[in-house]
């Protein structure tokens, strides 16, 4: 899952070396924190949050086979 988020983010940004994904677990939920360079933040969020929502949708769809709840936070 972490690799999927990294791949999606690195494909969108101008500074792929600044992309970092950290994982933490709270109860039955896994939370992935996505950090990008400040000037790439708009590219990852998108207009009205559409790209961020699409990333979250893809990750949730990929996580259904693991039967875990997954959240993606953009920091």
When pLDDT is cut at 50, 70 and 90, the band that residue 56 belongs to is very high
**Higher-confidence residue: 75 or 21?**
21
What pLDDT, on a 0 to 100 scale, did the predictor assign at position 9? 95
Q: What is the pLDDT of residues 10-49, one digit of tens each?
A: 999 999 999 999 999 998 899 999 999 999 999 999 999 9
Per-residue DSSP letter, 7: H
**Which 3 state secondary structure label does DSSP give 4?**
helix
25-51 burial, b for 16+ CB within 10 Å, e for fewer? eeeeebebebebeeebeeebbeeeeeb
Residue 8 has pLDDT above 90, yes or no: yes
Give residue limits of the domains in the chain: 21-31+60-75
What pLDDT, on a 0 to 100 scale, did the predictor assign at position 44? 95
């Amino acid at each position: 899952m972490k690799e999927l988020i990294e791949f999606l983010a690195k494909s969108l940004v101008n500074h792929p070396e600044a992309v970092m994904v950290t994982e933490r677990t709270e109860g039955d939920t896994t939370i992935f924190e996505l950090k990008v360079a400040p000037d790439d933040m708009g590219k990852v969020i998108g207009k009205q949050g559409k790209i961020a929502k699409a990333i979250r949708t893809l990750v949730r769809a990929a996580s259904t086979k693991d039967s875990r709840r997954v959240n993606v936070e953009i920091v």
